[in-house]
Structure 1
């Protein structure tokens, strides 16, 4: 029986399979001189060269770029310098040919296409080199996230996508309903008998789980209805949110840094071919220096992240502006929420390594963050990465019932909806911490892509929900 191989497996084992008969399947990337077929099945960025047998001349007219085929042939050492092995075909079955007229209008046509054009045909862009690279890396990032938490004794839990509350207490949410809202807003007649939304975070529910299981994490889709039409925002995206009982802020910071470095190390070790290809593409597009993508990732591993308080960050930014090294659009005032320009200056210009900022003013952070003794700041932390800014946001949670209750009142949180969250502080409450990591933004950083729409299969953004 002839063994079927993925192209990745065949290329990796090529020298051991010389003169062996094998079976491969895939899509035709190119067809040259009526004899050489370039085949790819998505398992690797590398292609397999198929040499067409003369006895198969009858099918030449049916062979077009994009066509799906099944090939049986003998593995041979290639005389060409671009590949170590090639497949001398003895039998080819064409599953489906592509009409050349249709091909001309698609992104599968072998010429340069813009990333915007690829998005217009998102159902086909998995077949392109650039997007298949990104998707393989995205897979490996997701896999190693689960691997890290499993090896560190976390339990994976599924939190609700349908919710009645807004975790942060701010921002717009997508409402879900079975009612005709033009005629009635009596939500007691709705499916859930109340107003419901798509969740912006699974954190609050994850906290309740951590107070029984110790260490938990969520990894799922979340939704925000803000009209943020930027290269860093999506309306539907994925979040990783660990929650840990008996953890203080310092332990939370150490966990987040260790976690991020584990992911970057794993991707360098397991996705190097795709990283190299992306680096070559980005060199051409953005005039970047050779190996800049790998150097950027190695920088994450090379040094401990710089830790500074919010107050220290404000002082540095204020001094830099007074020295006329930079003029910020948003004025530097203690108590303000740091903007992207401030975050990126600290990371890219001042420290030039990842930065962790902690102890933010309570007025710019959520109600559930633990109040410091000064009564002005909370035990919050953000991790800022080069080029992309904030990639992690977390805090030690407020475990004291009376203080949490007051914070909810001060920030106009509906206690009637979150009675259960408040109630957890009455049943053996303990210090606990957690953070949120934007998965898509992490993929964007690792792949070096300028637009977050290019790192998720079917981006959902304002005015766009196609496919």
Structure 2
């Protein structure tokens, strides 16, 4: 009766516009968890997270009691009990003897057909944390095809309340299976429960099917939408900056060079080491196999002579690989040197790079449109193994005309608080899961950041604070003029102030050339926002609008002036005071989820030596 009343007031749930299925979030995300939709028919699709099979009660047919036993010479006592007395037959089934062969006729034995059963599948389509319990009768579909974790199904059925109260308040009782995407059980990497995040990085194409990674991606999606909402609400225009640039945006960063000369060299020398009679790829494959043999022998510790021989063999193979690699580079280098003198043979006719920052390009649009922002990938060729840095990271960058350092620091403060509040309000279920699974204090931390004020200190004050610390020895000795490391700034936020800290007015030597020089001639109008447990999240500055000062800085750093002529033009023609900042978006996802390694929040992370997909 209760379900009928719920059904009369239930808001209709429409199928997804571009397919005939209903997205599970529209059912499970309701205030009543879908209870008001009981009795309605839906088509759902998703992937099986887990499953269990339950046997139905066997109903004996009339022929069971009519089995002729007279004259049988090899009829067991158990068979007599099973065939003659239903009560004992039920007992034998409970004891595991339900499939005992039964005689249908004298002298013949047949196996009883498998008992009918029901599969309980927990199905997720990625739209929310919760999964839907789906019941499939063995009469509808072979259950062995449906029950393996990772199996994709599209099913039509009716929502009902479980007959026995439990974890699920509703379930879909399937009337028709429309599609099954089966799983290769032996090779599916997510068949085990609770796989470590580090292991999941090796199968980044499948890991979004895990509840943890799916939640992280939904939070990431919410932060993306919040970013665009914040800037739209404050009158910023979205501008796409180039991924390929001829300008070193910071003047001292490690960059990825963009070139077509390698493909040209490949055409000239299709097989630079063919005359060796072996390819580098084949040798590298052999190294991998030989390394596995060595590791096996080390583990067994049973044959030391074999281990010594295997190690020597591996060493010789590594030497061969080094020689092949050196010869290949030498041949390619000759071709590159020949072309390098004349960049007219290059695709862009001059040195080009993957962009490290979009700040300089954004400035040109800020000087015309006022307030602009960009959101996209930025690249650094550092070979760092840090958990906070990879080769390709996404950044939010903005520039504001007619603004100074204090203005941009206030904007950064408002933006970060807006993101924290947004994710708490829009991702409550995912945040509940994250706090249970990853970081118990994450919700409290984000709530605190939305309501508390941030500490603002100068670089000089930060150095003074760190110099008096006696309970810890820093790897890099702190002194005025030294670049603050992540260890330094994290100690300020985590231990001294215990809240976000904005550090401003840095020595000019440790900030990019374009940052505005302060009146003291020693410091520049730059700032960093440091957040507890994460580190530096936002970096920004007021940029130098005075062309003479900018020219001086370019010369001091020995930068190629011709690279920045277009940038200097902005100072020659209608210059304006302006400022901006960049937020490491992937670091922001770390802050929102409580994770500690940026590789776990990037869909397909690229780092030194690793770009598998």
Specify the TM-score bucket, using the shorter chain as the normaliser: over 0.9
Which sections of structure 2, spanning at least 5 residues, go unmatched? 1-12, 16-20, 54-117, 266-331
In 2, the alpha carbon distance for the partners of 1:148 and 1:50 equals 40
In 2, the alpha carbon distance for the partners of 1:82 and 1:60 equals 22
Q: Secondary structure at the match of 1:55?
A: coil
In structure 2, the residue matched to 1:397 is: 543
Give the stretch that moved more between structures: 58-67 or 203-212. 58-67
1:9 is the counterpart of 2:9: no
Alignment of 1:87-106 (within 5 A): 87-103=172-188, 106=189
Q: Secondary structure at the match of 2:220?
A: helix
What is the CA-CA distance between 1:241 and the residue it aligns to? 0.5
What does the per-residue CA deviation read over 1:179-211, in whole Å, with 9 as the maximum and x for residues that have no partner? 136203132211111111111011100001000
Q: Secondary structure at the match of 2:134?
A: strand
Contact 1:27 1:66 in 2 (8 A): yes
What is the CA-CA distance between 1:35 and the residue it aligns to? 2.1
Q: Secondary structure at the match of 1:35?
A: strand
Contact 1:77 1:85 in 2 (8 A): yes
In structure 1, the residue matched to 2:442 is: 293
In 1, the alpha carbon distance for the partners of 2:524 and 2:139 equals 76
1:304 is the counterpart of 2:386: no
Contact 1:216 1:244 in 2 (8 A): yes
Paired positions, count:
453
Bigger Cα Rg: 2
Normalised to the residue count of structure 1, the TM-score between the two structures is: 0.94
What is the CA-CA distance between 1:117 and the residue it aligns to? 1.3
In structure 2, the residue matched to 1:422 is: 568
In structure 2, the residue matched to 1:288 is: none
Contact 1:2 1:21 in 2 (8 A): no
What is the CA-CA distance between 1:217 and the residue it aligns to? 0.3
What is the CA-CA distance between 1:114 and the residue it aligns to? 1.3
In structure 2, the residue matched to 1:328 is: 474
2:218 to 121, 136, 140: 136
The runs of at least 4 aligned residues of structure 1 exceeding 4 Å deviation read none
1:71 to 152, 155, 159: 155
In 1, the alpha carbon distance for the partners of 2:490 and 2:496 equals 9
1:260 to 416, 419, 437: 416
In 1, the alpha carbon distance for the partners of 2:378 and 2:14 equals 46
In 1, the alpha carbon distance for the partners of 2:512 and 2:220 equals 30
What is the CA-CA distance between 1:54 and the residue it aligns to? 5.2
Larger proportion of helix:
2
In 1, the alpha carbon distance for the partners of 2:547 and 2:372 equals 22
In 1, the alpha carbon distance for the partners of 2:532 and 2:479 equals 23
* 1:395–1:365 CA distance, 2 compared to 1 (3 A): same
Give the stretch that moved more between structures: 75-84 or 227-236. 75-84
What does the per-residue CA deviation read over 1:44-85, in whole Å, with 9 as the maximum and x for residues that have no partner? 1110001223532x4212112211111111111234331221
1:221 is the counterpart of 2:377: yes
Superposition CA RMSD, Å? 1.5
In 1, the alpha carbon distance for the partners of 2:458 and 2:400 equals 23
In 2, the alpha carbon distance for the partners of 1:393 and 1:297 equals 20
In 1, the alpha carbon distance for the partners of 2:179 and 2:237 equals 47
1:365 is the counterpart of 2:505: no
